[in-house]
Structure 1
Amino acid sequence: MDNKKRNILISKEQIDERIVQLGAEISVDYNNKKLYVLSLLRGSFIFTADLVRHITIPTKIGFMTTSSYGDKLESKGSVNIINDIPDNVSGFDVLIVDDIADTGLTMDFIISHVISLGASSVKSCVLLDKIDRRKVDITPDYCCFEIPDLFVVGYGLNYGDYYRNVPYVFNWED
């Protein structure tokens, strides 16, 4: 793929600007609440790190590893928990952070899981929303960017475990 030209869909500057706005919005919405940010690894680790630096209220942060893609370009349709939430989230207002809302199956599964653990409230936050691919009726509560049905990488999103470190979101031109 590296011999193909990269088509930058969302620049580093656009991402940075939107994350500052989103951090401020979340800070207002969760003021006087017990915020627990749950980052879904591995795709959202960069987004989560940048986002929480712009949340100005006390925040507890945890990580959970799930798998729905394996080594494929598309979701396999089921969600597996690889590493569960390390903390007791009962009584917390949980904000699940993921890199991309695609089919919605992962977010739907994790929301149900977190509710079953006794969270006071559960909302979702994604870097990218690919609405055209949705298989379940779910809309992220917070979203940085809506994108068309393209395979994208960069800024945490990977292809073959590479490209997560690229500071922008792109796809390859044919």
Structure 2
Amino acid sequence: MINTEEINGKIKRVIFTEEEIKAKTAEAGKWVSREYKDKPLLLISILNGAFVFMADFCRQITIPCEVAFMCAKSYYSGTVSTGEVSITMDVSQDLSRYHVIIVEDIIDTGRTLHDVVEKLKERNPLSLKVITLLDKPSRRLVKFEADMSLFTIPDLFVIGYGLDCDEYYRNLPYIAEYDEEKQ
């Protein structure tokens, strides 16, 4: 059970409710189902943050699809990106047989996704798209845009729905602004 007293002390405000996230995820699932009908589809979730979004998103897709996981990190502790991207777990599928959609939790500086996309393009997928739950364009340090962003946010540190601070708060069913002053 979530200790709401402890969590509420770290939350400034809820940004997106569970219901808002569900609605946007359902819309994205319908779009993918239409666009990729009768096509070999592979969803690649970027761990750890995107696992919650991926679980809900793939259940909204009504066509056959495969799921894979990749781990790429740039946040190692705290609330600031290190600027170094490390791929610690890779996919094993032959991507040249699939239309690939990378499923991401948040695009901040863009470094992580830029590097992941370049790595996957080298494997010649039939097509490659990026769908992200959250986009924070004001923080972009490299030229990168998702093909679909469910929500755009200002420069805030957010937690919940898979997003964390030092590995905590991923289990929140909503997305909230983290109160960095109460660490």
With the length of structure 1 as denominator, give the TM-score of the two structures: 0.95
For residues 27-50 of structure 1, give each alpha carbon's deviation from its aligned partner in whole angstroms, at most 9, with x where no partner exists: 111122211000000000000000
- Structure with bigger helix share is 2
Query: Does structure 1 residue 169 correspond to structure 2 residue 175?
Result: yes
For residues 113-163 of structure 1, give each alpha carbon's deviation from its aligned partner in whole angstroms, at most 9, with x where no partner exists: 111122111110100000100111111111110000000000000011110
Residue 102 of structure 1 corresponds to: 108
TM superposition shift of 1:166: 0.1
Quick one: distance in 2 between partners of 1:64 and 1:88? 14
Letter matched to residue 84 of structure 1: D
The 8 Å contact of residues 63 and 86 in structure 1, kept in 2 or not, is answered as no
Q: How does 1:23-172 map to 2 (within 5 A)?
A: 23-172=29-178
Q: Which runs of 5+ in 1 are unaligned?
A: none
Quick one: distance in 2 between partners of 1:142 and 1:156? 18
Residue 3 of structure 2 corresponds to: none
Quick one: distance in 1 between partners of 2:13 and 2:39? 41
Q: Which runs of 5+ in 2 are unaligned?
A: 1-5
Q: % of aligned pairs identical?
A: 38
Quick one: distance in 2 between partners of 1:5 and 1:16? 21
Quick one: distance in 1 between partners of 2:24 and 2:78? 29
For residues 2-54 of structure 1, give each alpha carbon's deviation from its aligned partner in whole angstroms, at most 9, with x where no partner exists: 43444000000000011111100111111222110000000000000000001
Matched residue SS, 2:67: strand
Give the total of aligned pairs.
174
